[in-house]
Structure 1
Amino acid sequence: MSQAEHHIETAQLRRSPRYGRLMVAGGVLGLVVAFVLTLAFDGTQVKSENTGVLYSMPQVLGFVALICVPIGVALGGAVALILDRVVGRRTRDVRIDRETVVDRPDAS
């Protein structure tokens, strides 16, 4: 025989932002910024003034992306923290109907 027990409880419901999604969006935005900055250079190759080495556009994109993507991820995390502080203040109480089912074997 199964026996069910009902409990009505109160809990606080709070919304929070998705940290991972905002950080990934910041990284993608950093990659877009790196691409735009790379296209801002003139010519197909960039020559270093200090070493005299010629860098191709994909190499320049890689170097600039190594700087822009982590900055974008950090900014996305900062936006998530700010949103968490602003949105997290608003909580509301909800009623929860909790049911526990206990299966007891027959004692026959």
Structure 2
Amino acid sequence: MNDDREGTTDTAKVRVRRAPKIPVFLIAGGGLGAVVTFIVTALYPTDPNIGFGTLFGYFLIFGIPAGVVVGAVVALLLDRRASKHAQAVDAERIHVDAVPEEVEGEIEQ
């Protein structure tokens, strides 16, 4: 479709960088915290009155948040590193006026 509308262009310097997806790091850190909690709980003998599942569940209260914190720290360190390696590029923005109603009806047909 040929667009004959006129617009104004605007050029600006912008910084482009690859930023980590922080929620992915938080979820992965929580999962890693759960796995480490399972391994540490399994290494030591459990009280038969309490049971392994109850003990593991109790320690998950501490293991998952610790893993989330570790994941957040890793994500923030990678984000800081990415901001140092950001590149400045020229970006062009085109402002186009709205299509008049007469022309809009012709386009739909």
TM range, normalised to the smaller chain? 0.7 to 0.9
Q: Is the 8 A contact 1:2 1:103 kept in 2?
A: no
2:105 matched residue in structure 1 = none
1:18 matched residue in structure 2 = 21
1:78 matched residue in structure 2 = 73
What is the distance in 2 between the residues matched to 1:98 and 1:86?
Answer: 28
**What TM-score, normalized to structure 1?**
0.76
Q: Percent identity?
A: 27
Alignment of 1:20-99 (within 5 A): 20-42=23-45, 45-46=46-47, 54-99=49-94
Following TM superposition, by how much is the alpha carbon of 1:73 offset from its aligned partner in structure 2, in angstroms? Answer: 0.2
Larger strand share, 1 or 2: 1
Following TM superposition, by how much is the alpha carbon of 1:99 offset from its aligned partner in structure 2, in angstroms? Answer: 3.4
Partner SS, residue 32 of structure 2:
helix
2:101 matched residue in structure 1 = 105
Following TM superposition, by how much is the alpha carbon of 1:88 offset from its aligned partner in structure 2, in angstroms? Answer: 1.0
Following TM superposition, by how much is the alpha carbon of 1:37 offset from its aligned partner in structure 2, in angstroms? Answer: 1.3
Q: Is the 8 A contact 1:22 1:76 kept in 2?
A: yes
Q: For 1:18, give the aligned amino acid.
A: K
Q: Is the 8 A contact 1:8 1:95 kept in 2?
A: no
Larger helix share, 1 or 2: 2
What is the distance in 2 between the residues matched to 1:97 and 1:4?
Answer: 15
Q: For 1:96, give the aligned amino acid.
A: A
Give the aligned length: 98
**What TM-score, normalized to structure 2?**
0.76
Q: Is the 8 A contact 1:13 1:92 kept in 2?
A: yes
What is the distance in 2 between the residues matched to 1:7 and 1:100?
Answer: 6
- The answer for unaligned runs of 5 or more in structure 1 is 48-53
